[in-house]
Copies of this chain bind each other. A is one copy, B any other.
Amino acid sequence: MRGYTLFERVSRAFHDYPSLSKFVVISTVSGGGLIAYAEANTSSDAYTVAPPETGIKKKKVVVLGTGWAGTSFLKNLNHPTYDVQVISPRNYFAFTPLLPSVTVGTVEARSIVEPVRNIVRKKNVDVCFWEAECFKIDAQNKKVYCRSTKESNLNGKEEFSVDYDYLVVAMGARANTFNTPGVEENCHFLKEVEDAQKIRRTVIESFEKASLPNLSDEERKKILHFVVVGGGPTGVEFSAELHDFVNEDLVKLYPMAKDSVKITLLEAADHILNMFDKRITAFAEEKFSRDGINVKLGSMVVKVTDTEISTKVRGNGEISSMPYGMVVWSTGIGPHAITKDFMKQIGQNNRRALATDEWLRVEGCDNVYALGDCATVNQRKVMEDIAVIFSKADKDNSGTLTVKEFQEVIKDICERYPQVELYLKNKKMSDIVDLLKEAKGDVAKETIELNIEEFKSALSEVDTQMKNLPATAQVAAQQGAYLAKCFNRMEEAEKNPEGPLRFRGTGRHRFQPFRYRHLGQFAPLGGEQTAAQLPGDWVSIGHSTQWLWYSVYASKLVSWRTRALVVSDWMRRFIFGRDSSGI
């Protein structure tokens, strides 16, 4: 079996002898070592051969992007009737929640990436990967135009076009500068692996520059002034990581670091981490103030030059400037140029991302799906459809709705309009009838009958429960998995639709609409302390949460390889500290 890695041999052995236990620990010790877990089932379908060609023409699926959404789609797609072509300017998937750790070397860049070809090669679906960037989508002719991103002398052959039957747009987003002058030229971003690597080099460079012999104290302090713009999870985690790197590792090597380093975190709103529970926000602000991280709330950046950053105080409009050594910009996301161009093409000019319906289908064109950070689900309001809902529910066309009639369609309504269920839950109404009672006053359940106006008034408040989904890895991954499952059941669902009643139209929807399940969110705050907001408004803060964070992230990593690498990176940092070589 020359040419196979140990991991593959073991996987294969387990496949051949499934009676071996599910988990095995391969532990090898040789002057420093590594321990890897191999789970038998994960690669049990390695070496399965693609089913024989059946003469049926396969449907061409083109996937743009290999981030959370695209990769999750690819991992979950397993129906052999698709011919998949993946196009992305990066030939790997990156585990982006660990990017802030990469900026200071707590984790190595290579430990959080996995080649796309590796992810898809063991599938029973035909998948081609092309490292290229899509520069035009032609939804009319079902074609995408792409070009290789690498410098090349291929005489124009670096451009090519691909036809599709279904297009899955998962290209992510770019950092949003809000057109603030000087940001593009002078700031670092933290979206890609390369960004994190560049930040790491720049931090070390700053310390080396500040060590040069003939600088004044003031110049040293300027060089070692790190400014982070944006108090969201990324900005906060980066500030915390940088603070730990300086205080745990760099102070030992750069004696002046203790007095000269300053970290400033600028946030335009009233608090950092404002999407989290107030207790977390308060804890984070208090910890940062103890750590000496300078948090400036209500500060909007208005300009960045090559030496100074200017901010406006939100209250009084006062503008002030401060010299800096390095700025990391992490304020939010905006659409890529190609996404914008496509939005214009399909008449979605004024949106911040590609609008889709609840089935992730892009509004305004056929067979195009969008998910992850480049898309936003445009939820249907109950009030828009109130008339058709009423007439569908009113089976006897009496012009009024009885409790019985309403109860027959309520499941479909809740499936189609999730805000209804949310509203009931928030109002602590166990029964839908309570809603009708509220509209009609306290009468006997059996006698309730609503006309259209009364029905409208009963449901008038439910749409306030609609919320846009956050642009997180969790949402993207769930969308990718959802869409893949829809694709896997496409043929079946065509015959036996699984979704709720179509209120506008006839029959049922083919699939249940996408529903996001929030599993909680972490905010690492440095010094081995993490805050977590878990479902049901549970809040957990401290060292134990840091261990929860370690275990959740280790378990969520994309492959056993990355899992072993990240864990050994953590161990290495714990034993030896972080490296400060300028590479």
Contacts and interface: CB of A to CB of B under 8 A. Distances in A.
Contacts of A30: 567, 571
Contacts of A193: 583
B209 A150 contact: yes
B574 A564 contact: no
Interface string A97-123: 000000001001110011101100100
B582 A561 contact: no
A583 B213 contact: no
A208 B88 CA distance: 11
A514 interface: no
A113 B581 CA distance: 7
Given A113-B581, A117-B254, A581-B92, A209 B32 contact: no
Interface in A304-327: 306-307
Interface string A168-190: 00000000000000000000000
Contacts of A567: 30-33
A580 interface: yes
Given A92-B581, A565-B572, A253 B118 contact: yes
Given A33-B568, A36-B575, A130 B211 contact: yes
Interface in A124-146: 129-132
B568 A34 contact: yes
Interface string A276-294: 0000000000000000000
Contacts of A254: 117
Interface stretch (A2-10, A229-237, A331-339, A367-375): A2-10
A27 B581 CA distance: 26
A7 B581 contact: no
Given A5-B574, A582-B92, A209 B306 contact: no
Given A5-B575, A118-B253, A33 B35 contact: yes
A366 to B, nearest CB: 25
Contacts of A130: 208, 211-213
A516 interface: no
A581 B115 CA distance: 5
A31 B129 CA distance: 31
Nearest to A201: B150
Interface in A144-160: 148, 150, 152-154, 157-158, 160
Nearest to A306: B153
B194 A90 contact: no
Nearest to A33: B35
Interface stretch (A244-252, A449-457, A483-491): A244-252
B564 A212 contact: no
Interface centre among A29, A32, A551, A567 (most CB of B within 10 A): A32
Nearest to A566: B32
Contacts of A219: 154, 157
A440 to B, nearest CB: 58
Given A32-B568, A34-B571, A567-B30, A110 B108 contact: yes
Nearest to A581: B92
A48 interface: no
A403 to B, nearest CB: 54
Given A253-B118, A574-B5, A113 B579 contact: yes
Interface in A439-459: none
A148 B207 CA distance: 12
Contact of A577 (B5, B29, B575): B5
A213 B157 CA distance: 9
A6 to B, nearest CB: 5
6 contacts: A3-B247, A28-B571, A31-B567, A36-B575, A91-B204, A131-B211
Given A115-B579, A132-B212, 14 more contacts: A5-B574, A7-B577, A28-B571, A29-B35, A32-B34, A34-B568, A34-B575, A92-B583, A131-B208, A150-B208, A157-B212, A160-B213, A193-B583, A565-B572
Task: Pick the 8 closest A-B CB pairs, nearest first.
Answer: A92-B581, A32-B564, A32-B567, A131-B208, A117-B253, A34-B571, A5-B577, A561-B576
